[in-house]
């Protein structure tokens, strides 16, 4: 599923643009199960939205693929309704951003609940959907839990931007100086075995958010966790997002690049569904594109130095083990691990040089 849209403002100037892509995970293809991810972008005259959602997919969340679609629709409906009166929305947001964001989150949850309840009433659960559950397990399930999903969304207007996140996944901003930042880090206060979800009764309290008034970034990118987990480091992940933005001067090529690369990443990396959605300011991108491309080359050099340092550390560790007479039962495993590190390094960056034939490989 790919979409990229260009809308002209009333003045005839393209202000925002964006694209999104969702690919089914290699493990889901092998198991014959459906894709749990969903994504979308909305580009309007004076605002843009990018959304990704990841249904949980476990046996008790057996309709979470519907839940992720409902999450994306809930965000679109909520923000589009607010932006129908942009002057009022901007005035309220600039006056009290946290309060407006909290209201947006609350409306999204209510809208999502309405969508999944209406769907549930219109499409009764079939016996084959609950085969993996005991009668007691199904009886104790909340309706909302059946549709459980994460959610990440960003919105950019002419005067401010904000992002909200519920559950795992990532958000990256590429600033107007070319630097990258992840404004919402993993919430370590959330227990590892508890995924923040729209189906939780306390979902409103589990949202994370950020905002900026003025000083908007060039681009805002959101992705489900299947993308981040295909990288060996946070630095490589941020550089990957930077490379994508540096290629947005050619939307057709970017579309192909992203689709091919995400498919490769799920096959050779996370095995999970992957969604990526992004929005950007076209004027600022046009002005910064040459600088962004130069920075990509600089980042590649730094990545090569990191890879060399990692390899040197591993070789040192390997030599230490061998010195302690562990080479006979560890040598083969160490060679495999070293090879895995090399391969991982080869999957942490896009190779722009091979885009001429509309293919994507990784250095």
The predicted-structure confidence for 173-197, as pLDDT tens digits, reads as follows 999 999 999 999 765 445 444 579 9
- Its pTM surpasses 0.85: no
Does 358 have pLDDT greater than 50? Answer: no
> What are the residue ranges spanned by the domains of the chain?
2-296, 302-357
Indicate the CATH number for domain 2-296.
3.60.40.10
Residue from 362, 355, 343, 348 nearest 240 by CA: 348
Q: Which two tokens stand for residue 239?
A: 């550089």
Q: What is the pLDDT of residue 191?
A: 44
Q: Are 247 and 257 in contact (CB under 8 A)?
A: yes
Average pLDDT, the chain: 86
Query: Can you state the angle between helices 64-83 and 97-122, rounded to 10 degrees?
Result: 130
SS (H, E, C) 100-113: HHHHHHHHHHHHHH
The predicted-structure confidence for 113-148, as pLDDT tens digits, reads as follows 999 999 999 999 999 999 999 999 999 999 999 999
């Amino acid at each position: 599923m790919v979409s990229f849209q260009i809308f002209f403002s009333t003045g005839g100037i393209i202000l925002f643009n964006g694209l999104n892509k969702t690919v089914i995970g290699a493990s889901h293809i092998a198991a014959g199960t459906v894709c749990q991810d969903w994504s979308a972008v909305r580009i309007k005259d004076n605002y843009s939205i990018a959304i990704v959602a990841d249904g949980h997919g476990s046996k008790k969340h057996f309709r979470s693929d519907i839940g992720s679609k409902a999450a994306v629709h809930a965000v679109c409906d909520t923000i589009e309704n607010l932006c129908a009166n942009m002057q009022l929305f901007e005035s309220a947001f600039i006056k009290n951003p946290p309060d407006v964001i909290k209201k947006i989150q609350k409306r999204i949850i209510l809208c999502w609940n309405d969508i999944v309840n209406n769907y549930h009433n219109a499409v009764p659960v079939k016996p084959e959907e609950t085969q993996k559950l005991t009668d007691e397990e199904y009886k104790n399930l909340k309706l909302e839990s059946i549709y459980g999903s994460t959610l990440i969304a960003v919105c950019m207007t002419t005067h401010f931007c904000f992002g909200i996140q519920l559950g795992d996944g990532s958000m990256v901003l590429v600033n107007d100086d070319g630097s990258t930042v992840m404004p919402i880090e993993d919430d370590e206060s959330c227990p590892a075995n508890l995924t923040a979800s729209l189906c939780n009764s306390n979902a409103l309290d589990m949202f994370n958010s950020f905002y900026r008034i003025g000083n908007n970034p060039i681009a805002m990118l959101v992705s489900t966790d299947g993308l981040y987990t295909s990288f060996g480091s946070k630095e490589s992940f941020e550089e990957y997002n930077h490379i994508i933005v540096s290629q947005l001067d050619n939307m057709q090529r970017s579309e192909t690049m992203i689709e091919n690369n995400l498919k490769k990443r799920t096959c050779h990396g996370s095995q999970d569904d992957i969604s990526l959605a992004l929005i950007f300011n076209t004027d600022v991108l046009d002005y910064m594109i040459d600088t962004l491309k130069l920075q990509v080359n600089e980042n590649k050099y730094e990545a090569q130095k990191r890879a060399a340092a990692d390899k040197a550390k591993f070789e040192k560790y390997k030599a230490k083990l061998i010195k302690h007479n562990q080479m006979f039962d560890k040598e083969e495993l160490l060679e495999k691990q070293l090879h895995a590190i090399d391969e991982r390094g080869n999957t942490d960056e896009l190779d722009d040089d091979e885009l001429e034939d509309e293919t994507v490989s990784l250095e």
